[in-house]
Structure 1
Amino acid sequence: MQSPISPTLRRRRLARELRRLRESRNLKLAAAAKESGVPLSTISSIENATARRIRPRDIDALADLYDAASQEREALHELTSESKQSGWWSSYKDLFGGNALPDFEAEASVIRTFEGLTVPGLLQTPEYASAVFRAGRVLEEADVERRVQARMERKSIFNRIKPAHMVAVIDEGALRRVIGGPEVMRDQLNYLKNMALRHHIDIQVLPYSAGAHLALAGPFVLLGFPTPKDMPIVYVETAVDGLYLDAPEELERYTLAFGNAQGVALSTALSFQLIDDILRSLESTP
């Protein structure tokens, strides 16, 4: 299965290329707007990668102003077209919001995640995910099913010809917390073991004995992309929304936190053994 296109990444690439072309001509935004006839607000939104509707004629006007070569112009139009495409996640805007995590996962080559409370979403079984969403009984059953379906759809990234390499550091407490009952938890842990056997998935358990570490603030995901010009991003889920961070200092802070948590976590082999130990402790639980 080939990777779907990430419209957000395409908008970011388009923004980067148009900014580079403008700056290579030593033009300020206001001057570019005046000389091209493209509104300043439009150029600004394109260069900030926030424009949702980009007109081909505006791209042509800017390409003319910047004396873009034919290949550059063609690439700009291709990026513009791809930035308008919709992935499967567009059907779940009510769940993911304007910026969908699957949009970035679609083209991520490396996904590093730290989770302290539950099994990471990409590694959950449907039954476990259902139990997570049912917690507190605040959602209608139809809403639970829809959220589970969306979460299972995200796993399609593992079926690509070149699947994303996932490194998951999971706190021991998340594996010992019985969510959905013993049977659901046993199935979840067995599924986790099976996923750990895949060559592109590394699972490390952060044991209680590790003590304090730099990821104590909470779970987060670091996403890296195959093209060096596509800068990594950090996703932090909150109770009301998801935050996307890409400032250099933010990336550095979360990269350091992940490295510290991974460094004190068990190796993949010892993590596998600990999961087995937890499974055995559940065998006597009805």
Structure 2
Amino acid sequence: MASNTRTPKARALGSALREAREEQGLGLRQLASELGKNAGQLSRWENGERAPRPTDVAQILTHLGVNGERYEEIIAICSGTDEPRWLAVTLPEQRQQLGALLEFERAATTITEVSPLLIPGLLQTSDYARAIMSAGGVPANDVETRIAVRLGRRDVILRRDPAQLVALVGEAALRQVIGAPEVMVEQLEYLGEMAELTNVDLRVLPFSSGWHPALEGLFLLIESEQTPVVQLESRRSGLFLHEPEDVQTYREAADTVRQAAMSPEDSSAFIAEIAKDMEAAP
């Protein structure tokens, strides 16, 4: 029997099924009729409210004409949809995690990003993101697509009913020259512009702030009316956490980091000063 769930992996599986259906131009009721299934059941699968069995997923994908590598990727995420943590170490599963991240961000009410060494993804300019990806070994033919996806994520804080963004940024992220000085100046100026939005709380963690949990690494806390999640990333893997005790641990960490950070007003002035010094440097 399909399990009750709203885990990140179940959301990713549902998103993949919905995308495959929409690519064929089929409505939910039409697909349900063709498969001899209940439309409400399909809807719950696509929303990640319940996780279908692998046999159900195989039936849907076969009916929709999904085959080859894509078929195998979707089938692979059928297992473990009710597990407390989702660790992705393969590139296909990391792509599925990105899909889940986009789903969670679209439904978010508050996003807290703790980023000690790089500008938070939701606040990056295209040139800054391009410099990271190019230097980081992303294949040249994938760079522009990935940049488009990253910039598209901004919609969650720029739309009519935006999510609240709490960005806790390390001083090192502001001073590390990524790309070229002019790229960094533009990036810092953009941070200043975004900090003026009423739904953006941008705070800097100066070198003088002492120890705080951000020094353990970046993390993303996404809260919504549904299941809150935490995302952690390394160079070779991605990890989603959704168990209440795990989420609470990172909520507390974010509160500790916020207390160590400068005020929004002082942070904006600090960023502007760094941009000014960087622009004036030979």
User: If the length of structure 1 is used for normalisation, what is the TM-score?
Assistant: 0.69
How far did residue 116 of structure 1 move? 0.9
Cα offsets for 1:136-168 (capped at 9, x unmatched): 5x2332222222121111112223221010000
Number of the residue aligned with 2:214: 215
**Which residue, 253, 260, 272 being the options, matches 2:256?**
260
Number of the residue aligned with 1:99: 97
Conserved in 2, the CA contact under 8 Å of 1:95 and 1:147? no
Number of the residue aligned with 1:112: 112
Conserved in 2, the CA contact under 8 Å of 1:233 and 1:245? yes
Structure 2 distance, partners of 1:252, 1:190, is 34
Cα 1:58–1:262 change in 2 (3 A) is farther
Relative to its length, the structure with more strand (as a share) is 2
Q: Which ranges of structure 1 fall in alignment gaps of 5 or more residues?
A: 1-39, 61-73, 85-89
Report matched runs for 1:58-73 at 5 Å: none
Q: Which amino acid aligns with 1:99?
A: Q
- Is 1:274 matched up with 2:270? yes
Conserved in 1, the CA contact under 8 Å of 2:182 and 2:279? no
Report matched runs for 1:37-56 at 5 Å: 40=1, 43-44=2-3, 47=5, 50=10, 52=14
Number of the residue aligned with 1:167: 166
How far did residue 215 of structure 1 move? 2.5
Cα 1:95–1:205 change in 2 (3 A) is farther
Structure 2 distance, partners of 1:163, 1:126, is 21
Cα offsets for 1:228-259 (capped at 9, x unmatched): xx221101112123211011221121111111
Number of the residue aligned with 2:194: 195
Structure 2 distance, partners of 1:82, 1:231, is 12
Q: Which amino acid aligns with 1:185?
A: M
- DSSP 3-state at the match of 2:216: coil
Cα 1:96–1:160 change in 2 (3 A) is farther
Structure 2 distance, partners of 1:179, 1:95, is 28
Moved more, 161-170 or 230-239: 230-239
Structure 2 distance, partners of 1:257, 1:48, is 24
Number of the residue aligned with 1:251: 247
Structure 1 distance, partners of 2:125, 2:6, is 38
Number of the residue aligned with 1:122: 122
Cα 1:220–1:47 change in 2 (3 A) is closer
Structure 2 distance, partners of 1:150, 1:189, is 21
Cα 1:150–1:77 change in 2 (3 A) is closer
Number of the residue aligned with 1:204: 203
- DSSP 3-state at the match of 2:214: coil
Structure 1 distance, partners of 2:204, 2:134, is 25
How far did residue 81 of structure 1 move? 5.7
- DSSP 3-state at the match of 1:98: helix
Conserved in 2, the CA contact under 8 Å of 1:204 and 1:268? yes
Number of the residue aligned with 1:148: 147
Conserved in 1, the CA contact under 8 Å of 2:167 and 2:202? yes
- Structure with greater Cα Rg: 1
Structure 2 distance, partners of 1:58, 1:170, is 52
Please report the RMSD computed on the Cα atoms of aligned residues, expressed in angstroms: 2.8
Cα offsets for 1:66-85 (capped at 9, x unmatched): xxxxxxxx86665446569x
Number of the residue aligned with 2:134: 134
**Which residue, 229, 236, 239 being the options, matches 1:233?**
229
Conserved in 1, the CA contact under 8 Å of 2:115 and 2:214? no
Number of the residue aligned with 1:18: none
- Is 1:181 matched up with 2:177? no
- DSSP 3-state at the match of 1:192: helix
- DSSP 3-state at the match of 1:271: helix
Cα 1:97–1:81 change in 2 (3 A) is closer
Q: Which ranges of structure 2 fall in alignment gaps of 5 or more residues?
A: 19-30, 49-56, 58-69, 71-90
Percent of residue pairs identical: 34
Structure 1 distance, partners of 2:95, 2:196, is 33
Cα 1:194–1:95 change in 2 (3 A) is farther
Matched positions, count = 220
Structure 1 distance, partners of 2:228, 2:156, is 17
Structure 2 distance, partners of 1:115, 1:47, is 30
